[in-house]
Amino acid sequence: MSVRQVLGVWGLGVLVVGVATFSVRAEGPSPDASLARLKSGNARITHMAVKSGTEAPMPRAAQPVAAVLSCAESLMPSEEVFGAAPGELFVVRSLGHVVDHATLASVEYAVERLHVPLVVVLGHEMCGALRAASDTLPGQSSGPHYDFLIKALKPAVSRASGMPESQRMRTAVLENVEESINTLLQDSAIIRHLAQEHRIRLVGAFHESSSGRVFFSELVDVPHLESAVAERH
């Protein structure tokens, strides 16, 4: 099953993404400093809630409107990207939004148990995970878990390799969004069945970090297997 034709409708003429260079910081905050930051942040939020006489600084949505599978590297949380209130989105994050057993189970939980009607796969501009996959040479290994990730990202990188350098990374991101949607549909009978019954819809999205804009593909239409076979004959 492929949704490449559907995901090709992005209005890409307005997207101009330059080639980025990435550097790794030699040092970050210490574990103690990181933990202190989390504690102080929670204390501040709790103090605000007590002072205002509410249990939380913002009311939570009663029902998520969408499940968002996004990249763990993205600096902008999905709630901020879409201006969503707490609880409006069921967010699942993995590096390069690669689908594994845990992410697949999380999306299944959202659509089957919480009855979330929309699944968004959100790629982002200048994805470092795809850059890493592009830079990893054949046979190069950094351990089984990292190798699994790179293997999952390589098809998108390969399909974008023939593009001009100025468009290669953007194309790889869009191809990788398609890859994740295909994997969700191929590897999950639950997601595929709900999509075929039109109880959920899937859509690809691209976050242009430089402008904050999100570009959506068309909603993915998943026909029943019987209908698809009949159409071919």
Least confident of 11-20, 143-152, 180-189: 11-20
The pLDDT tens digits of the residues spanning 83-135 come to 998 899 999 999 999 999 999 999 999 999 999 999 999 999 999 999 999 98
The Cβ of residue 164 has, within 10 Å, a number of other Cβ atoms equal to: 8
In percent, the amount of the chain with pLDDT more than 70 equals 81
Write out the CATH class of domain 61-232.
alpha beta
CA distance 73 to 222: 29
- The mean per-residue pLDDT over the stretch 20-32 comes to 54
| Residue from 185, 186, 163 nearest 173 by CA | 163
Which pLDDT score, from 0 to 100, does residue 147 have? 92
What's the pLDDT band for 6 if we cut at 50, 70, 90?
Answer: very low
CB neighbour list of residue 115: distance below 8 Å, 6 or more residues apart: 63
Q: Is pLDDT at 66 greater than 90 in this prediction?
A: yes
Domain boundaries, the chain: 29-58, 61-232
Least confident of 22-36, 137-151, 211-225: 22-36
Contact status, residue 204 vs residue 7, Cβ threshold 8 Å: yes
**What is the full DSSP assignment across 195-212?**
HHTTSSEEEEEEE-TTT-
Sheet holding 201-207, edge to edge: 89-94, 66-71, 118-124, 201-207, 214-216
Q: Is pLDDT at 201 greater than 90 in this prediction?
A: yes
Which pLDDT score, from 0 to 100, does residue 215 have? 92
